[in-house]
Amino acid sequence: MDSRLNRGTGAIRGPPPRNDRAENPVPPASQVSDSYYTGGFEDYTSFEPSPGDQQAYHGFAPAAPPQQPYANDQSSSWFYPGFDDANNDNVNSMPLDIGSSLQSQIDLAPGPRQHDANEQRGAVNHMNAIMTQVGSVAMAQPPVGQLDLIDMDAVDAQQADFRFDPAPQNPPAQAMDVDMQPQMAHRISPVPDHIAAQRAKYKPLSSVPPDLSSSNYASQCIAAAISSGMPPYRLHHSEYNLLRSHLPSIHVTTYLNIRNGILRLWLSNPTVSVTIVEAVGCCQNERYYSLAEFAFEWLVRNGFINHGCVERPTLAPQDRPQGDKPRQTILIIGAGVAGLSCARQIESLLIRHAAAFEEYDDIPRVVVLEARRRIGGRIHTANLSQAGRQQVDLGAETVMGFGNGNPLGIVLRRQLGLPVYPVDTTMNDLYSPKSGGIVDETTSFRAHELFTHLLERMLEFETGMPVQPQTSEGDKALIRMARDPKITDSNDERRTVAKSEEVDRPYAETDGPSDSEKKKSETAVELNFLKELGFEPKENNAAKQIHITPSPAGGSASLGQTMDGFGQQLEELVELGPQDLEALYWHYAKYEFFSGDCLDKQSLGSWSHRKECRYSGQSSWLRDGFSTFTKGLYSVPTKLDIRFKTQVKIIDYDEDTVRVNLANGEQVVGDRCVVTLPLGLLKSRSVQFIPDLPQWKSDSISRLGFGVINKAILVFDKVFWDASSDVFRVTNDPSSDKRGDGFVFQNLVGPTGKPILVALFSGEAARKLKERSDENVVSDLVERLAAIFHPEQKPVVVESVITRWQLDQFSRGAYSYVSVDGTVADHDLVGWPVQQSLFFAGEATSRSHPGTVHGAYISGLRAAKEVINSLVGPVEVPQPLIPPLQEDNKQSLGSRRGNFTGSVPMPANTISVPASGQHTPLNLAQATSSAGLGAPTSSITPSGNANAGYGMSYFGAAPDPVSMRTTPQLSIEDLETELTTLRHNRLAAENDQMERDLEEKLGERPARPERSGNTNPFLLFQKDYWDICRQETEEAKQRDRKGHASRNEIRATLGRRWRFLPEDEKAPYIERTRQTKVANEYKHEEYLRKIKYYDVEADNFRQKWKLDHPSQPSEREKRLMNMIEELRPKRKRSRLRE
């Protein structure tokens, strides 16, 4: 195990170098002081509380709490410390964080990457920067109102895929000629000079450790993919959508080997950015340079590598010509985790794509507008004056596992080196104040099992789970050995992923569902289940009938009300004692904590998606508070441009400009704007949008709920509780407004050494906290603690802090959930951009990780990608993705079969037989059977060379002419090609007929309306005053005897007149443009409404049409399929012999 792995905390204590053989490696942990690794964060003296931060402690704001699935999950919530029941044995069986194990492997076998002098010192400088840069948040800032007003041409923005969220609907497969690949060599465009210069630095296998076995290297690559949240053996759905029509199916394995290798390179030292040269060094063959370039760009753009607090290259000053376009501005509203991660990622991507902004003065500036006097948003760490200024989190504080792709594992431990405290969840007793002790294990176990059973039965009404996105898998055996597939035939590279799907998709029709056996009555099933748990059945329960129905009936079904209805029916079957009910409803309070609000307010059909919001590994607390993470994200490697105390009131946006009006009367203008406001602010409409947000987005905002979670921090004079447990659970009255009242206590003696307890409040109890005084809350909690632990003297509270999130004007609550009227898709809709200038991020925009810090961080990376896509364009697939085989290639056809020495493969639809006679191509589409596929064919070759002149491939010696005349030998690839062509033509004809029927039924799809009028008041003014200003300019030129006025001179006169035009004269032009904008927006909204209705109706029509007109393969297709199945074993045996 690596000595840098601190066994007490489970954190990497220092950033390891990517190459231990570098001239100036990072010193080991034993040679560096603790402050080197922890960063030595000091208090932010400039972070005095704003009026919006006022809580019961007079100055602290709550942070976003976590969510935790009901079945003892270890990953989803940042706030919830993983309260597992005492009877669960699987807590300690969790494997070690894959990232940590991968780190130890890589340290033992470093790669060949060589740093230059700056890179070798990068990791040390990177960590030292934390101590020198984080100390002060306040910074000299130019006046906010002086940011430039920028106009730029509209650039279409591509809708981004989400990092871990379900994929949008797959695009239709693009039709390709079956013989396109062999002919592509004639259509390859020259490589641009800058690409050629860059590729001159490439060297295959330069990033693969030469002293590492292929199996060990492959295991590291696979572990890196898993630790990055990527499937190691298949394409990510976004990769699949981009590559399916370009990537040969046989090279899916090749691509995955390269992609996993790049991820391994990144995780080996995430304090230094991976370069394109290093990424291409993961290739095993120079033919795959374009694959590596695409993989690298896709990983960078989507935030899988080179994200967070990472050293990045700096731009050298350039002499730019006079008259360049003014610098663009990107505004980010909110300095929470989403805003900080988005700003940090945008700055990094802008430097990478600096060449796209050569016509401007500089790359765009990134400005963050924050209403508070501090960063972090719903993450806030307080200093307790009576506890030696001990730092305690008032909001998010728990990291629920670092494994399986949690991006904060990279930032917290590997880049910032923050010390963490692992939370021990094995000793997690359930206490009852009424009984004055620990609830027996049997009662605790039964309550857990019964609650789990209730939730599982609610899955019957689940409607919000998406279909697993389609993707493509590689060869697992080859990936586990880090080997690329051998190319023995040009046809192997001819079929793309999309073409392979057409051939390999089964044709057999599936039988309909068979009649199932008659089930036992629900009453008997439930009664047996309850008896197994040890509950005593009531008398005369045989007449009872169990029937689960959504509640309330006839409306939007509620998860809580439906569970209550089912639970009441179960209570009629067996005896549930008071302690059973208290223990059962403790689990209700726990679920309300991780989901954000009372169960009665949550959707019955869209609740279980939160079960997927999990990462592996042990839960942890940050020893110095979660604010150290946001401070590091703000300061390292350089400070972000954040304007504090700039409260946004109005966001006025159009296609290419966003004007943000502040509460102090100033206006900030940008070309792009990312809104990271909490959902509570969007729901309260405290920020006005002009024009109003589209109806689809407003509806989604209203359909999502925004919950409330609160805390009570209690500092005692001494410890009187069981200090060996990091967490203990406390039951309450089962009523909805009582069960979440201090239902969990976090024991901070371990991480702080101080007698501190933190009580958590959820559901209605958290909301009603605003109606209670601090004294009432504290006295009630102390009374319950005394009833549990029976101290000799009454506990003395020396200091307390009570949070009330719903009263905070800059958050209005804790985090989001799907309300009874919503669906999981509403998270996506809230995050979708509006036009191409307004983008959204935050935990509420994360479908897979709502209500979590890592969800907010990932949403910031996603929004950064969308912004960059709108500025420089989306990631493009190189053409050709893989060049055709060349003669001197080691995997050319000639090196694998016979005596072939040419480089151009035979066209897919032609067979040529070397014999005497004339050369006649054989069209497979005209063949009728495997035994007699038409007339015999042959060819004459000049100079006696069977390969000369035609450039076609012949394998082995020429067969006997007689036998060839009777049975032409067709390869399996030729048969598959014909099968693909026949099937493609059949499906195309059916689709054409379906679309004609659709158009006849519904008419043509609504067309996008053209924008009418002019939305720039100056252009309207210019039209009215052009002749006047032209005349004035001409007269001035004639007086100076300088000839006629040019158009630029006339425009300059117009600009001066417009600038000095009185506001009352400008008003008519501004009003006309406003009316034009309103009219255009109305037409656009009407278009969206029509197109949405049309698409829904069209989808329904297509589904019904396909049911009414099932597609059946032709007789010829069936014969070809049979022939292919017969030939496949022969080809397999032939390759084994080779």
For the chain, helix (H) and strand (E) counts, in that order, are 33, 25
The pair of structure tokens assigned to 629 is 């993470």
At 1108, the pLDDT band (50, 70, 90 cuts) reads: confident
Q: Is 601 exposed, middle or buried (0-12, 13-18, 19+ CB in 10 A)?
A: buried
Residue 58 has φ and ψ, to the nearest 5°, of: 65, 55
Asked if residue 937 lies in contact with residue 922, where contact means CB atoms within 8 angstroms, the answer is yes
Q: Bigger pLDDT: 64 or 489?
A: 489
Beta strands at 744-747 and 727-730: parallel, antiparallel or unpaired:
antiparallel
For the chain, the straight-line distance linking the first and the last C-alpha, in angstroms and rounded, comes to 43
Q: pLDDT exceeding 70 applies to what percent of the chain?
A: 70
Contact 604, 410 (CB under 8 A): no
Peptide bond into 190 cis (omega under 30): no
Least confident interval from 151-155, 540-544, 1102-1106: 151-155
Closest Cα to residue 560, out of 458, 659, 632?
458
Given a cut of 60, is residue 77 above it in pLDDT?
no
> Residue 8's pLDDT is what?
31
Domains and CATH numbers, the chain: 329-377+626-704+814-872 (3.50.50.60), 893-970 (no CATH), 974-1138 (no CATH)
Give the angle 63-349-866 at the CA atoms, nearest 5°. Answer: 70
**For residues 47-54, average pLDDT:** 36
Instruction: Report strand pairing: 797-802 vs 838-840.
Output: unpaired
Whether 749 and 719 have beta carbons less than 8 Å apart is answered as: yes
Q: Is 852:338 a contact under the CB 8 Å cutoff?
A: no
Among the listed residues 4, 13, 229, 219, the one whose alpha carbon sits nearest the alpha carbon of residue 104: 4
Tokens encoding 662: 């502040």
Q: Sign of the C-alpha dihedral, residues 781, 785, 788, 791?
A: negative
Q: Residue 1113 pLDDT > 60, yes or no?
A: yes
* Exposure string for 733-743, b = 16+ CB within 10 A, e = fewer: ebebebbbbbb
**423 contacts 744 by C-beta, under 8 angstroms:** no
Structure tokens that stand for 364 in this block: 């765009």
Least confident of 3-12, 251-260, 455-464, 703-712: 3-12
Picking from 400-409, 714-723, 1086-1095, which range would have the lowest pLDDT averaged per residue? 1086-1095
Evaluate if residue 17 carries a pLDDT over 90. Answer: no
> Which of 27-31, 108-112, 205-209, 651-655 has the weakest average pLDDT?
27-31
Mean pLDDT for 441-464 is 87
Q: pLDDT-derived band of residue 551, with 50, 70 and 90 as boundaries?
A: confident
Bridge partners of residue 713, in order along the sequence: 758, 801
The 10s digit of each residue's pLDDT in 566-602 is: 898 888 888 889 999 999 999 999 999 999 899 999 9
* Environment class of 846 (CB within 10 Å of its CB; exposed 0-12, middle 13-18, buried 19+): buried
Q: What is the pLDDT of residues 141-184, one digit of tens each?
A: 333 333 332 232 332 333 333 344 443 333 333 333 333 333 33
Which tokens is 317 given?
A: 């000053």
Q: What is residue 1036's predicted lDDT score, i.e. its pLDDT?
A: 80
Cis-peptide, bond into residue 691, ω within 30° of zero? yes
Give DSSP secondary structure letters for 23-47. SSPPPPGGGS-HHHHH------TT-
* Most confidently predicted of 188-197, 887-896, 1066-1075: 1066-1075
* pLDDT over threshold 80, residue 608: no
Mind listing the pLDDT tens digit for each residue in 941-991?
333 333 333 333 323 333 333 333 334 456 777 787 788 888 888 888 888
CA 157 vs CA 270, 655, 677, 875: distances in Å: 29, 11, 22, 12
Helix, strand or coil, per DSSP, at residue 927: coil
The secondary element (H helix, E strand) that includes residue 437 is strand 437-438
Can you tell me the distance from the alpha carbon of 389 to that of 251, in angstroms, rounded to the nearest whole number? 59
What pLDDT is stored for residue 152 in this prediction? 28
**Token digits for 404?**
């399986």
Contact 717, 725 (CB under 8 A): no
In this structure, of 323-327, 527-531, 810-814, the range with the lowest mean pLDDT score is 323-327
pLDDT tens digits, one per residue of 105-141: 333 333 434 444 344 334 434 444 443 444 433 333 3
- The residues facing 422 across adjacent strands are 620
Higher pLDDT, residue 656 or 903? 656
Q: Which of the pair, 673 or 1011, is modelled with greater confidence? A: 673
- What is d(CA 66, CA 851) in angstroms, rounded to the nearest whole number? 6
Structure tokens at 7: 């066994």
Please spell the DSSP secondary structure of 223-282, one letter per residue. Answer: HHHHHTT--TTB--HHHHHHHTTTSBGGGHHHHHHHHHHHHHHHHH-TTBPPPHHHHHTT
Q: Which of 51, 1124, 45, 76 has its CA nearest to residue 594?
A: 76
Kindly give, in sequence order, each residue whose CB lies less than 8 Å from that of residue 421, ignoring residues fewer than 6 positions away. 9, 620, 621, 622, 623, 750, 751
Structure tokens at 649: 């009131």
Q: How far is CA 593 from the centre of its chain?
A: 24
CB 842 within 8 A of CB 678: yes
CB count in 10 Å sphere of residue 433? 17
pLDDT at 38 over 50: no
What pLDDT, on a 0 to 100 scale, did the predictor assign at position 563? 93
Strand order across the beta sheet in which 398-400 lies: 398-400, 619-622, 420-422
Q: Are strands 390-393 and 398-400 parallel, antiparallel or unpaired?
A: unpaired
With beta carbons less than 8 A apart as the criterion, state whether 831 and 862 touch: yes
Q: What contacts 904, CB < 8 A, 6 or more positions away?
A: 182, 185, 884, 951, 952
Structure tokens of 1030? 């032209």
Q: CA 309, CA 412: separation in Å to the nearest integer?
A: 9
Higher per-residue pLDDT: 636 or 611: 636
* Strands 672-675 and 329-333, sheet pairing: parallel
Residue 192: predicted pLDDT: 67
d(CA 998, CA 1104): 11
Instruction: Tell me what the pLDDT averaged over the chain comes to.
Output: 75
Once rounded to an integer, what is the mean pLDDT over residues 915-920?
35
pLDDT at 596: 87
At residue 894, φ and ψ (nearest 5 deg) are: -65, -30
Q: Is 473 helix (H, G, I), strand (E, B) or coil?
A: strand
The answer to whether the beta carbons of residues 968 and 933 sit under 8 Å apart is yes
Neighbours of 594 (CB within 10 A): 27
Q: Cα–Cα distances in Å, from 130 out to 123, 367, 629?
A: 11, 21, 11
From the list 621, 575, 617, 585, the residue with the least C-alpha distance to 430 is 585
Residues with Cβ < 8 Å from 830, sequence gap 6 or more? 679, 682, 697, 700, 701, 704, 840, 844, 845
| Calpha distance 191→293 (Å, rounded) | 14
Higher pLDDT, 18 or 502: 502
Q: What is the pLDDT of residue 673?
A: 99
List Cβ neighbours of 1103 (8 Å cut-off, separation of 6 or more).
none
Q: How far apart are CA 691 and CA 651, in angstroms?
A: 9
pLDDT of amino acid 466: 52
Residue range 845-856: average pLDDT? 93
- Could you tell me which of 939, 936, 964 has the C-alpha nearest to residue 953? 939
Burial of 857 (0-12, 13-18, 19+ CB in 10 A): buried
Round to whole Å and give the CA distance between 118 and 132: 19
Q: Which residues are CB-neighbours of 399 under 8 A, at least 6 positions away?
A: 78, 406, 408, 409, 412, 420, 619, 620, 621, 622
More confident site: 1030 or 11: 1030
Q: What is the pLDDT of residue 1007?
A: 84
* Tokens 């600038």, located at residue: 1059
- pLDDT > 90: percent of the chain: 44
∠ CA 1069-1075-1081 to the nearest 5 degrees? Answer: 135
pTM of the predicted model as reported, rounded to 2 decimal places: 0.67
